Chains A and B, each alone.
Chain A
Amino acid sequence: GENVEQHPSTLSVQEGDSAVIKCTYSDSASNYFPWYKQELGKRPQLIIDIRSNVGEKKDQRIAVTLNKTAKHFSLHITETQPEDSAVYFCAATYNNNDMRFGAGTRLTVKP
């Protein structure tokens, strides 16, 4: 089945620095890659997504890049703020039907 690997599992940065989270996937048919942010005790919230016909997408301080050949995609957060602290999950569609998630990255932004 689809295997989505996510690294690192924890990431601590200083406020204002950048944070990068990387994911790889195994299903070459995957063509939709969302990223979710989950704060403690809350639901996962979609923050950005990318489709396979696009190599990069940006929304203010958040950007996602996709390399279909290498089957990896990354989340970039610039000018991090304490409110960016959360667990971030990448995901990739699988078998044209549903989605598989990475194990998550706990991001801590220190003021």
Chain B
Amino acid sequence: NAGVMQNPRHLVRRRGQEARLRCSPMKGHSHVYWYRQLPEEGLKFMVYLQKENIIDESGMPKERFSAEFPKEGPSILRIQQVVRGDSAAYFCASSPYGGNDGTQYFGPGTRLTVL
């Protein structure tokens, strides 16, 4: 059973471009969470999704950021018109159950660098 997969592992974008980050949860997991981690800082919650539904996006900036988890395929975190402040490591985690029952298992992260 493969763990949580994320790609790309490293992504370089120029200001104004779009960044698209992918997360494939563990087999059998239907809950996906995205976190952002700045250097030397903690994990900041961004969004929680179940298949085809956004459950909680309270941690995600209202502009330029969007997330989806389609019926088929990976979850996608999309950042439009990237700015230097978007440079960070983006981790996704998956869980077989949500909320209080759900141990979260993390992917290896995507390190986004905005030039």
| Chain B positions within 8 Å of A97 at CB level | 48, 55-56, 98-99
B56 CB, nearest partner CB in chain A, Å: 5
Interface presence of B1 (CB below 8 A):
no
Residues of B in contact, count (CB < 8 Å): 24
**Interface of B with A (CB < 8 Å)?**
33, 35, 41-45, 48, 55-56, 58, 91, 98-109
30 cross-chain CB contacts under 8 A: A1-B58, A30-B100, A31-B100, A32-B100, A32-B102, A34-B103, A36-B106, A43-B108, A44-B43, A44-B91, A44-B106, A45-B106, A46-B104, A46-B105, A89-B43, A93-B99, A96-B99, A97-B48, A98-B33, A98-B48, A98-B55, A98-B56, A98-B98, A99-B104, A101-B35, A101-B43, A101-B44, A103-B41, A103-B42, A104-B41
